[in-house]
Amino acid sequence: MKHTKVIDLLNSTKTLHEVTAKGWVRTFRNNQFIALNDGSTINNIQCVVDFENTPEETLKRITTGAAVSVTGILQESQGKGQSVEIQVTKIKILGDSNPEEYPIQPKKHSLEFLRENAHLRVRTNAFGAIMRVRSVLSFAVHNYFQEKGFVYVNTPIITGSDAEGAGEMFKVTALPFDKTPRTEEGNVNYKEDFFGKETNLTVSGQLEAETYAMALGQVYTFGPTFRAENSNTSRHLAEFWMIEPEVAFNDLDANMDLAEDFIQNVIKYTIDKCGDDLAFLEQRLLDEEKSKPQADRSEMSLLQKLNFVLENNFKRVSYTEAIDILRNSTPNKKGKFNYIIKEWGADLQSEHERYLVEKHFKCPVILFDYPANIKAFYMRLNDNTEPGKETVRAMDILFPGIGEIVGGSQREERYDVLVKKMHALGIEEEELWWYLDTRKFGSAVHSGFGLGFERLVLFVTGMSNIRDVIPFPRTPQNAEF
């Protein structure tokens, strides 16, 4: 018999008919009440077993984690907490779960323990909710860009270029490690490698996306990126997903407009679609906050924080103005910041970004016009900047509780300026000849931004560690599963 998803059963207005549900046992109480969940919703459906007419051997096999199929009559529930329940007439055990060995028992587990069982943690309420929210957010991203006529471009995962210039890249090679061919100078001879040159896993699809924007007008990428950055923090992953739109003829102001509209749109879509999951995650966050000292607790609940982003225009502030605010702020003067702001040119840290959003402006903030020497080579150099204080048309969007969530810029469209910047950073023209071609043949003003998808999921779910918003996190010393 065809089975019906739990979410559809719980939303059903038609009762007193036979249904079949399949899922995993969350709990089994009094040899009678099964809490069944199939992943379609955070809510379980109660299945009432006629234990007097069910074989003892079958009852023993109804354990937490077991996969079962139940058939019975859907009827109004007599108990609290659910509108309908299934009066079971037939039950079949599809897959046993030994209660002595199954690690996800119905009790509170630490997030660290659940990371060690990442293959099973999605069976908990919290991780089921997180992954459903992640799925809806992912769809919302595609939906937003498709409705606006953007073209989805799949950029290479294996690349010969370093878009960020940071050098923290995973090498890709088919050469044997024990007998690596060498040049006469003793360097690795990449000419004998699979691609005939040194290649890496991509850190960004931006440069390739730019070339497509210069033909298709507006494009976006949404794919995996990799950083071999040895940052064992709650905000960094070695493998993560990036959303990167690139738009021809957009200047920095239009870029900021697009980023603000995009973020507000996908968050609103997710709030509308994930009510039950977000309500659970909000309560989870409130419970977690109770264990913190009062001073460390968030001033806003999860949904308040999300609506804060929807209901406030993003405040646009130049880097120079932000530095003045931070330099004169009480935490800076009293030495409360871990990184004291002393002068123009400092690279802002998360604590500074959060101060601007949460304490000073009390709304999302877009910082723009950063010092050129702390930003990437491809960002457009501002005209008429004084020597030693050159700035670029860069922008970062800062959110409460998380700091930077988006980084973008107007791209340098002038061939001679771009070449000069590459030379200054030691980037060979031959390495990016194809990128420079777009500045030689029909160059135009264009802009784009990058948003780490997991940072967005982190914000929307209220989780505090980025390892908890991706199915199988990849971090230093950890490639389990």
Whether CATH 2.30.42.10 fits 6-105: no
Q: 20 pairs with which residues across the strands?
A: 71
- In angstroms, the CA 472 to CA 478 distance is 10
- DSSP characters over 252-306: HHHHHHHHHHHHHHHHHHHHHH-HHHHHHHHHHHHHHHTTS-GGGS-SS-HHHHH
Calpha distance 204→241 (Å, rounded): 10
SS3 373: helix
Rounded to 10 degrees, what is the CA torsion of 439, 368, 236, 177? 30
pLDDT tens digits, 381-426 = 999 777 888 999 999 999 988 889 999 999 999 999 999 999 988 8
pLDDT the model gives residue 290: 87
**Whose CA is closest to 236, among 247, 249, 221, 226?**
226
pLDDT at site 296? 77
pLDDT digits (tens, 9 = 90+) for 90-143: 999 999 999 999 999 999 999 999 999 999 999 999 999 999 999 999 999 999
CA atoms within 13 A on the CB side of 125: 20
Q: Can you point out the beta strands (E) in 113-156? A: 151-152
This prediction's pTM: 0.94
Which structure tokens are listed for 83? 């509108």
- State how far the Cα of 278 lies from the Cα of 290, in Å rounded to an integer: 18
Q: How far apart, in whole angstroms, are the C-alpha atoms of residue 435 and residue 161?
A: 10
- CATH code 3.30.930.10 region(s) in the chain: 123-168+203-468
Q: How many CA atoms lie within 13 A of 102 on its CB side?
A: 22
- pLDDT tens, residue by residue, 40-68: 999 999 999 999 999 999 999 999 999 99
Residue of 268, 265, 274 whose CA lies nearest to 245: 265
Confidence of residue 79 (pLDDT cuts 50, 70, 90): confident
Q: Give which of 344, 378, 377, 370 is closest to 448, Cα–Cα.
A: 378
Element (H, E) at 325: helix 319-327
Which pLDDT score is estimated for 167? 63
| Portions of the chain given CATH number 2.40.50.140 | 6-105
Residue 303 contacts by C-beta under 8 Å, 6 or more apart in sequence?
271, 278, 279, 282
Q: pLDDT at residue 174 above 90?
A: yes
CATH architecture of 123-168+203-468: 2-Layer Sandwich (3.30)
pLDDT band at 234 (very low <50, low <70, confident <90, very high): confident
